[in-house]
Homo-oligomer: A and B are copies of this chain.
Amino acid sequence: MPILHNMKPSGNCYKVRLIAHQLGIPLTLEEYEFNSGRTRQPSFLAKNPNGRVPLLEFDDGKAMAESNAIIWYLTEGTKFQPETKWDRGIALQWMFFEQYSHEPYVAVLRRLLAHGPKEETEARRNELPKLAERGNAALRVMETHLAKNDWFAGGRYSVADVALYAYTHCAEEGGAFRLSNYPAIQKWMKRLEAQPKFIPM
């Protein structure tokens, strides 16, 4: 059974748990505490030199890092990827948007405000307004798309929606963002949560 090196409050790890459950792939979870430093120790770095979870490790010892690469790999050839080459490109467009323009602001501000450590939040207090501004900019890009589309790619629920849902649905934690400002996002989250075999974070 594959081992998911996992942090419970990590949206990136949740992406893998959610799509694996919907695909019917059982996972063994190896838990890491937030801020424990365990992913920067030599035994972990031997598996992922970039020192991050999620990391999905298979019985033969092979391992894959980067949440969006893992969920792309798991869904290749399944109904969770769009059917056409164009729409697969658009799905990846949104997944790269998520990692470049969304996660570094939406997830990081939520982490600082809701999951500490307090010393880091204090030390980075000057950065918080910029994180809020850029996170809201990403949420507005999503809102613009969702005002006219039910899903992010291919006209149906896909791996791109999983990638964007992970840190959007918990963006209010710690008072980081107000999702009531984004009605189309709220409706999309309800549609996503009504999908078969949905599991909460």
| A residues at B contact (CB < 8 Å) | 49-50, 62, 64-70, 72-73, 76-77, 85-86, 88-90, 92-93, 95-97, 99-101, 103-104, 140-141, 144-145
Residue of B nearest to A142 (CB): B49
Q: How far is the CB of A148 from chain B (nearest CB, A)?
A: 11
Residue of B nearest to A93 (CB): B69
Q: Which residue of B62, B72, B104 contacts A92 across the interface (Cβ within 8 Å)?
A: B72
Max chain B CB contacts within 10 Å: which of A67, A88, A92, A144? Answer: A92
Number of this chain's copies in the complex: 2
A68 touches B49 (CB 8 A): no
B97 touches A100 (CB 8 A): no
Q: A49-B144, A66-B100 are in contact. Are A85 and B92 (CB under 8 A)?
A: no
Residue of B nearest to A68 (CB): B96
Query: Which B residues are in CB contact (< 8 Å) with A95?
Result: 69, 96
